[in-house]
């Protein structure tokens, strides 16, 4: 599944998916493998590790929920900063 297909299925941006996948790799819940499907193209493959797949599914779901909340909180913080900058700029012009 490509990142673009995954973003459509989950409803997140490519950046959000990369953020979550990177965190999963750091926690060893997902393994990053590289393959050379075409001579000039390297593809990344994210594979669940073999041990404890059922247990990891529950942990992964909870982890994904937390990371998605983190991502939304970061977006909200950026939006608030953006609004603050516009308000400050508008006050200076007045």
Query: pLDDT by residue (tens digit) across 40-60?
Result: 555 565 565 665 577 777 888
Quick check: 79 pLDDT over 80? yes
For residue 42, CA distances in Å to 7, 21, 24, 26, 46 come to 20, 18, 21, 21, 13
Contacts of 36 (CB under 8 A, 6+ apart): 42, 43
Note down the domain range covering 61: 3-93
Q: Which CATH number fits the domain that encloses residue 63? A: 1.10.10
Residue 48, pLDDT score? 58
- In angstroms, the CA 11 to CA 53 distance is 24
How many domains does the chain divide into?
A: 1
Work out the percent of the chain whose per-residue pLDDT is above 70. 72
């Amino acid at each position: 599944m490509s990142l673009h297909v995954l973003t459509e299925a989950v409803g997140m941006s490519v950046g959000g998916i990369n953020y979550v996948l990177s965190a999963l790799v750091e926690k060893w819940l997902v393994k990053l493998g590289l393959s050379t499907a075409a001579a000039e193209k390297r593809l990344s493959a994210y594979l669940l590790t073999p041990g404890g797949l059922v247990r990891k599914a529950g942990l992964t779901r909870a982890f994904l929920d937390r990371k998605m909340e983190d991502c939304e909180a970061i977006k909200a913080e950026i939006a608030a900063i953006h609004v603050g900058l516009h308000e400050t700029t508008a006050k200076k012009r007045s």
